[in-house]
Amino acid sequence: MTKVSRRKLLKTAGIGVGAAATAISAPAIAQSMPELKWRLTTSFPKSLDTLHGAAEVFAKAVGEATDNKFQIQTFAAGEIAPPFSAADVVQNGTVEQCVTASYYFLGKDMTFALPCSSPFGPNTRMQNSWQYHHGGIELMNEFYKKFNIHALPVGNTGCQMGGWFRREIKTVADLDGLKFRIGGFAGRVLGKLGVVAQQIPGGEIYPALEKGTIDAAEWVGPYDDEKLGLHKVAKFYYAPGWWEGGTQIHLFTNLDKWEALPPSYKSIVRIAADMSNMWMTAKYDAVNPPALKKLVAEGTQLRVFPQPVMEASLKAANEVYTELSATNADFKKVWDNIKAFRNLEYEWWQVAEFNYDNFMIRTGVKA
């Protein structure tokens, strides 16, 4: 074969290989970026623009990162499903995703409460550390798999307030017979102290408190509580919400739908959820201080739970943890993991974080 004919053959072969590569790569790229249209429901009304708003932030980020090939339409509580049915419609595939508080579904299994917020559990930063660097996400998804759900952190409220009361709480005895709107796990703990716990959706708290159907109610914190108008029907505002030292909001995705996503879309969903997780905490930290000042200026009586009430609540919580751990292996596995991590974290926090914050608070930040 002459040099000329060899060069011609190689050139022809090169064209063939390039054409074949183009023919193979084009559909591969198209398959990795399919056009998807999902629906996402939340457990919150649109008026709660931080809790529900996190879902909108998340969905917008996914759309922008995929040139709108992956579109997620968000729906507020009640538009597709009631607030406390959000996990159900994801589990059965009616919708692909929801943004919700996992502890709303402890009726399925008490373990649902733990990654959201548990009485005297870790604070917000500790929760993030546990989830991202201590295997918390993976541990919980082992559990959620039983319910056809894949979960990711999507927001955190920070430490919540202890709620609105029509009368002062001065002793443990004042809790006896109190009709209190409060989530399931904390309600079970407070039940040991005589509280009659009731779980009511956010949008229904005001009329229940106004009519006297309940004596007290907790929701989130100053910004959201003002939106619900709770200060208009109860004047004593207590802190802290020891049952919600850092309430983790989750993105639940139908497990079958999650596993069918291309790897690139899974990464985009994770990144968008991480961004929303940071966004929610940052927003609450920004909007709660002025909201609290406004509430106090309008007559709200700010109170701190007396030490005996806190200690009695801790004792009751530990009793509930022991009881549940004895009968539920999943609960015990997760709680033991969280508790050990929380205890280790507080050994560190008391050294730097607490001492710094305590000094700054005591001095009135007069720098």
Q: Tokens 């709480």 sit at which residue?
A: 169
In a domain, 183, yes or no: no
Structural domains in the chain (count): 1
Q: State the pLDDT at residue 281.
A: 98
pTM of the shown model: 0.89
Distance of CA 345 to the CA centre of its chain: 20
Q: Is residue 116 part of a domain?
A: yes
Domain that holds residue 255: 35-158+246-285
Question: Looking at the domain assignment, is residue 109 inside a domain?
Answer: yes
Residue 18, pLDDT score: 42
pLDDT of residue 119: 97
Task: Report if residue 362 sits inside a domain.
Answer: no
DSSP code string of 239-306: E--TT-SS-EEEEEEEHHHHHHS-HHHHHHHHHHHHHHHHHHHHHHHHHHHHHHHHHHHTT-EEEE--
Whether residue 215 is contained in a domain is answered as: no
Q: Which residues of the chain have pLDDT under 70?
A: 1-32, 365-367
Residue 15: its pLDDT value, please? 41
pLDDT at 171: 98
Q: Looking at residue 200, what is its pLDDT? A: 86
pLDDT of residue 6: 43
Task: Kindly report the CATH number assigned to the domain that includes residue 266.
Answer: 3.40.190.170
Q: At what angle do helices 51-65 and 263-297 cross, to 10 degrees?
A: 150
Q: Is residue 197 part of a domain?
A: no
